[in-house]
Structure 1
Amino acid sequence: MPNRPLDETTVTRLVQDASTAPSMHNAQPWRFRFLADSGTLELSADPDREMPRTDPDRRALHLGCGAALFNLRVSAAHAGLRPEVTLLPDPGRPLLLATVHADGTEGPSRHDPLRALYPVLRMRHSSRWPFDDTPLDDAVQASLVDAARAEGAGLVFVSDWHVQELADLVHDAEGRDDQQPERLDEMTRWTHRGAEAESATEGIPDYAFGPRMRGGAAPMRDFAGRRPLADRASATFESTPHIALLGTARDGPRDWLMAGQAMERVLLTATLKGLATSLTSHALEWPDLRGLARDPRSSMGHVQIVLRVGHGPQGPATPRRPVTDILTVVHHAGHGSGTGGP
């Protein structure tokens, strides 16, 4: 089959799809640059969207960018393309996280399993609402484990006793945050209320906070923090939440990018099966608590994210930045359009 080079219209669509990925506090810490002459798309970290207090090593930033990269792969498969991805291609440019060669072969990719995930790409939202206690089918759990494994990561569903341990770790993290206002200030920067929430293009708007938990065992961060939200409802959450740990054997930037892709593949697979999902990184933001989050019965080396999966309502869509803010197209002689790349 002949190669079909990506054009600017196709690249724009790919980046729009990529940007539906989850990221810590919905900061959307990615930039894309399309080099039209070479037909290469670059994915870089956006240093203006770092969280130096809560994510000093940029681990969560890499997870979010990895999720965006996976969405781009799904979108490319849907478009009949097979992009070649290189992670961390240039040691001299640490913010450059991946390159995607812009030529793809049409035809064979119609058999790509990623194509099946495209219909739910924009349906996946983090749900901070109560799920019910309906058990997850063993086959469903196995499919999510397989999704993580396909991207080089591990996924372990934890036992009830460890679910309670994780909930306790979240409470511990909240207490520690109360003693460090600079951490709360970072979260406040990325949460929006009232009229500000309606016009936001980033962060967590108040309509996505979900109800205040008055009972249940789900280990979830409360984005209202120490600022109570007027007229916010409270609800009892599931007593036996289905919690999974996603992790990797090693713990460096390449592993974080792999884990981000695995995380998104798991989330989209769960959405395709009619399940609701949410993520939490709160306890993982403290190195000692992150170590305690690991299930001692598993061989997982490093926990990268805690996932909550179950039967419940899909959460509302959180805002996304316009593609003109995150994509730069570079033409010949270095002339570009849009904003974005480093």
Structure 2
Amino acid sequence: MSARPSYEEWVAGLVHDATAAPSLHNAQPWRFRYFQGSRTFHLRAQMERAVTHTDPHGRALHIGCGAALMNLRVAAVHGGWHPQTRLLPDPRDAELLACVQLTALGGTSGLGVLYPAVHRRHTSRYPFEETEIPEAVQTALADAARDEGASLTFPTGWHLDEVLELAREAEARTVTDPGRTRDLAQWTHGGIPFSDTETEGVPLYAFGPRKLGGRAPMRDFAGDRPVAGRTAAEFEHHPHLALLSTEGDRPQDWLRAGQAMERVLLLATLHGLAGSFATQALEWADLRWPLRDPVTGTGQVQMVLRLGYGPPGPATPRRPVLEVLDIEQGTPNS
């Protein structure tokens, strides 16, 4: 019979689950503070971990932190708690992104069933099969996004062609943009193989193969740098993309988008799907706008997901919990 974890181990376990979330270039721009007196987590942005050139306004930073917030909520419900959540609770403190108080579980919640996917979900930059995603699965994923205040649509026809063309244009720009090239070099360590002690960024083993053909919109983390031993592969010619959108485009919308994105990805993982991100066009203001729904012309696209049946991606490094968690004895502002 295993020993019951200590209070600190229980709190650390919840944060360990939260930080399994994805973030732009795996920068992990979050920090958690737990107040024992009120069973409350504060989620804070670490602005020094912003990917400054690629994400100058912090939109992707908020989305990554929103994804970590979703994982925390899932883990809390799995543990029998109700995570009472407030976004941006203090207008005077822009870095305080969310407040989560754990109360006795009341009513029912579907979040707990997602818990097995928290540590199974990894970004996969490998080719996917040309297999269609069943309509019932697409509907379930769209419902999951809607539950978090976002919409998820699967572009087809000429709209899909437009999204793919915008991604290609953005990728071509990124390769020749000095600021974004510096971001890639910083968060991939210049393509140098990671040591066992690295805790952040995208390691070489997670780059995936170089794209030899196909239409999948893949970001090449190697940029124009040669990587010894890296293989090339044919990617899918009929990629399945999903656009995640919100009505507004403010920090609270970005946090909602991050939660919706992670909820969709966790559910997709349980349905046997792999996923990666095609955010290149979102990183250029003039390319992001045309991604919107061509019929309604409304909504703000916050994320482009590539989904499909294929190999799961490898686990990427995570910062130790002790680096991202503080535990206080009292209550907030006490």
The TM-score normalised by the length of structure 2 is 0.93
Amino acid at match of 1:310: G
Whole-Å separation in 2 of the counterparts to 1:45 and 1:274: 32
Contact residue 122 and residue 314 of structure 2 kept, 8 A: yes
Q: Report whether the alignment pairs 1:249 with 2:247.
A: yes
Deviations 1:2-44 (A, max 9, x none): xxxx943322111110000010001110000112233321000
Q: Structure 1 unaligned runs (5+)? A: 1-5, 335-342
Contact residue 154 and residue 300 of structure 1 kept, 8 A: no
Q: Report whether the alignment pairs 1:55 with 2:55.
A: yes
Q: CA deviation at 1:299?
A: 5.2
- In the alignment, which residue of structure 1 is the partner of 2:327? 329
Deviations 1:217-259 (A, max 9, x none): 1112111111121111111111111101001011000000000
1:223-234 equivalence runs, <5 A: 223-234=221-232
Amino acid at match of 1:10: W
Whole-Å separation in 2 of the counterparts to 1:226 and 1:97: 36
- In the alignment, which residue of structure 2 is the partner of 1:3? none
Of residues 177-186 and 54-63 in structure 1, the stretch that sits farther from structure 2 once superposed is 177-186
RMSD: 1.8
Change (3 A) 1:148 1:91: same
Deviations 1:71-119 (A, max 9, x none): 00000011000021010000110000001113x214x56x421111001
Q: CA deviation at 1:160?
A: 3.8
- State the SS of the aligned residue for 2:53: coil
- In the alignment, which residue of structure 1 is the partner of 2:148? 151
Contact residue 213 and residue 235 of structure 2 kept, 8 A: yes
Q: Report whether the alignment pairs 1:120 with 2:117.
A: yes
- Of the three residues 249, 266, 269, the one matched with 2:267 is 269
- Of the three residues 160, 165, 172, the one matched with 2:162 is 165
1:234-313 equivalence runs, <5 A: 234-298=232-296, 300-313=298-311
Contact residue 18 and residue 72 of structure 1 kept, 8 A: yes
Q: CA deviation at 1:137?
A: 0.6
- State the SS of the aligned residue for 1:91: coil
Change (3 A) 1:149 1:197: farther
Contact residue 54 and residue 179 of structure 2 kept, 8 A: no
Of residues 9-18 and 264-273 in structure 1, the stretch that sits farther from structure 2 once superposed is 9-18
The count of aligned residue pairs is 326
Q: Structure 2 unaligned runs (5+)? A: 1-5
- In the alignment, which residue of structure 1 is the partner of 2:30? 30
Whole-Å separation in 1 of the counterparts to 2:212 and 2:53: 29
- In the alignment, which residue of structure 1 is the partner of 2:183? 186
Whole-Å separation in 2 of the counterparts to 1:298 and 1:206: 41
Amino acid at match of 1:99: C
1:214-225 equivalence runs, <5 A: 214-225=212-223
Q: Report whether the alignment pairs 1:199 with 2:194.
A: no
Contact residue 18 and residue 72 of structure 2 kept, 8 A: yes
Whole-Å separation in 2 of the counterparts to 1:218 and 1:333: 49
Amino acid at match of 1:90: D
- In the alignment, which residue of structure 2 is the partner of 1:39? 39
Contact residue 277 and residue 310 of structure 1 kept, 8 A: yes
Change (3 A) 1:237 1:179: closer
Whole-Å separation in 2 of the counterparts to 1:26 and 1:33: 21
Q: Report whether the alignment pairs 1:142 with 2:145.
A: no
- In the alignment, which residue of structure 2 is the partner of 1:98? 98
- State the SS of the aligned residue for 2:152: strand
The TM-score normalised by the length of structure 1 is 0.91
Whole-Å separation in 2 of the counterparts to 1:302 and 1:332: 40
Change (3 A) 1:66 1:232: same
Contact residue 159 and residue 294 of structure 2 kept, 8 A: no
Change (3 A) 1:300 1:71: farther
Contact residue 173 and residue 282 of structure 1 kept, 8 A: yes
Q: CA deviation at 1:300?
A: 4.3
Amino acid at match of 1:30: W
Whole-Å separation in 2 of the counterparts to 1:314 and 1:29: 24
Deviations 1:154-207 (A, max 9, x none): 001011433332232222223322442122101111114454254321110010
Contact residue 177 and residue 184 of structure 1 kept, 8 A: yes
Contact residue 23 and residue 61 of structure 1 kept, 8 A: yes
Change (3 A) 1:17 1:265: same
